[in-house]
Structures are given as C-alpha cells and as structure tokens.
C-alpha cells in the first residue's frame, strides 16, 4: 500500500472545468488523495451546454489506465463519461486486467444541459459489461429509469428500482434522489440486503454543474483511503452539500461548485 491514497478517474474532459475529470481531480485534491486520469472524451463545453465531443480511441483510453496502474497503482477508481460501446468494452477489459476492485461507476448519460453523453447503442453494453464490475454504481433518477425501464415518481418506487439495478450485477447501489424535489435531498444506498437513507438539506441554487461527478469522485477518494462504504458515502455527501452551499456564479448558465471550500474556510479562520 502506498503512503498516499491513489485514485483514478476514467472520464471525459469538461473544458469549462465544472464537471468530468476536472471536477474529479479537484475533488481528489481537496480530499487529500493523489489523483490520476484516463481521458475518454474531449468536450467543448461551458456552463450553457456541450457544443462538440471528440471520443478518444478506445485503445488510447485503455493504454492510459494500464500505464498508471502498472507503475503508480490504484487504490480506487471511478468511471464517468464513456460515450461509446468501444470505450465501454475497453475500459471493462482494462479494469479486469488490472484487478481494480474498488470501482465506482457513475452512469453518465445526460449532461446537466440535457446533452447526451452516452450513445444510445452503448447503453446495452454498459448494462451487461460495466455494471457487473461496479463495487458501487451511483445513478440519479433519470439514469436509473433509463437503466431499468421503470419510472420513479415517489419514494415507494425506489425499492424495486434499486433492487433491479442490483440484480444487474452491481455489488452496491446508491440511488441519488435530487431530482425528486422536496425540502431535503435524499439518497438511498442498497448493499444487497439493507437500504440506508442519507439526507441533507436542499440548497436553493442553480449552481449545480458537476454534482454527480463530484459526489462519485468524493466517494472514490474516501474508498481509496480505506474508509468503509457507508462512511465514504456519508462523508462524500457532506462534502458535496457544503461545496454546493459555497458554489458561485460563473458564466451564463449553470454555475460550478466550490470544490475547495475546505481551504476557503481555513483562510477565513486565520
């Protein structure tokens, strides 16, 4: 085991810096973890939308994963935007080959702006190949509906949907309930037997670009440190909540979180 925890993000690049590998690496740094990245796609993106996407060849994606794993090592990894079936297949093969067991799968399908980030013909490959490798999968409500074909309208719909996703092969499922509305933001963690709620006050802000990336990256960081899943999810949700609370206006659209609020508060205390 390395003296410093090592976390790898396998995801797309957001030129606007609010989501994707940029958000992941900021999160890793803020939480004291050494971050590495395997870039899957390059996006021309800002706070208003995604304007162009260039997918990195699958062979280059797997070469990046292999390079850092063989030399530096990986304590935990996460996936984000995988874009097409070839990249999904390549990443799965590399995850198996390098025996990365603490894998957080964020099923990035649609950007905050509504732009598609996973091609429709890649969804089946994602379900059959990627989900069974997940130590934890972190879908939001629209993603969970797309993965299962089931609607989530009320809390009573959570249990069957989350169990359906677990039946697809994921060891643990974290269903993010932010889209459900209400006074509190509630997420549900299912470990195959128990369903646990994680609740935080809902913050009234439109600056939520990169929340899914940030939460999954924070969980990955805590797992890389050897923290158990429940405490990793709880700590990650707390980190995200304060990052949203400290978010700021930037650009003309959906603004970013403040990933470095920890350091801001330290400065204020001086």
The residues annotated with a catalytic role in the active site are 176, 208, 210-213
Written as one string, the DSSP assignment of 96-132 is HHTT--SEEE----B-TTS-B-B-GGGHHHIIIIIGG
CB 246 within 8 A of CB 256: no
Start-to-end Cα distance in the chain:
35
Q: How far is CA 59 from CA 1, 39, 107, in A?
A: 28, 12, 21
User: How far apart, in whole angstroms, are the C-alpha atoms of residue 20 and residue 214?
Assistant: 9
Adjacent-strand bridge partners of 186: 199
The DSSP result for 177-215, as a single string, is: -GGG-SSEEEEEEE-SS-EEEEEEEPP--S--BTHHHHH
Rounded to whole angstroms, how far apart are CA atoms 177 and 199?
10
Q: DSSP letter for 106, please.
A: -
Whole-angstrom Cα distance, residue 225 to residue 221? 7
The pair phi, psi for residue 191, each rounded to 5°, is -105, 15
d(CA 190, CA 195): 5
CA 265-268-269 angle, 5° bins: 90
User: In Å, how far are 11, 108, 260, 267 from 140, measured between CA atoms?
Assistant: 17, 9, 24, 34
């Amino acid at each position: 085991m390395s003296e410093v925890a090592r976390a790898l993000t396998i995801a797309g690049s957001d030129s606007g810096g609010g989501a994707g590998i940029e958000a992941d690496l900021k999160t890793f740094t803020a939480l004291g973890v050494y971050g590495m990245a395997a870039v899957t796609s390059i996006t021309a993106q800002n706070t208003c939308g995604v304007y162009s996407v260039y997918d990195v060849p699958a062979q280059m994606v797997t070469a990046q994963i292999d390079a850092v794993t063989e030399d530096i090592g990986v304590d935990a990894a996460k996936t984000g935007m995988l874009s097409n079936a070839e990249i999904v297949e390549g990443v799965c093969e590399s995850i198996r080959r390098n025996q990365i067991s603490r894998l957080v799968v964020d099923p990035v399908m649609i950007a905050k702006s509504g732009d598609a980030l996973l091609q429709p013909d890649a969804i089946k490959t994602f379900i059959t190949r990627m989900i069974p490798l997940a130590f934890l999968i972190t879908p939001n409500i629209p993603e969970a509906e797309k993965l299962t074909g089931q609607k989530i309208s009320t809390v009573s719909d959570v249990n069957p949907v989350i169990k359906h996703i677990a039946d697809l092969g994921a060891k643990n499922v974290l269903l993010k309930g932010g889209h459900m509305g209400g006074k509190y933001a509630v997420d549900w963690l299912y470990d195959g037997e128990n369903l646990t709620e994680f609740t935080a006050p809902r913050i009234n802000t439109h600056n939520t670009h990169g929340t899914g990336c940030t939460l999954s990256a924070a969980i990955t960081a805590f797992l890389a440190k050897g923290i158990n899943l429940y405490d990793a999810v709880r700590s990650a949700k707390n980190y995200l909540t304060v990052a949203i609370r400290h978010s700021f206006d930037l650009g003309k659209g959906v603004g970013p979180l403040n990933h470095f609020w920890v350091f801001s508060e330290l400065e204020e205390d001086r």
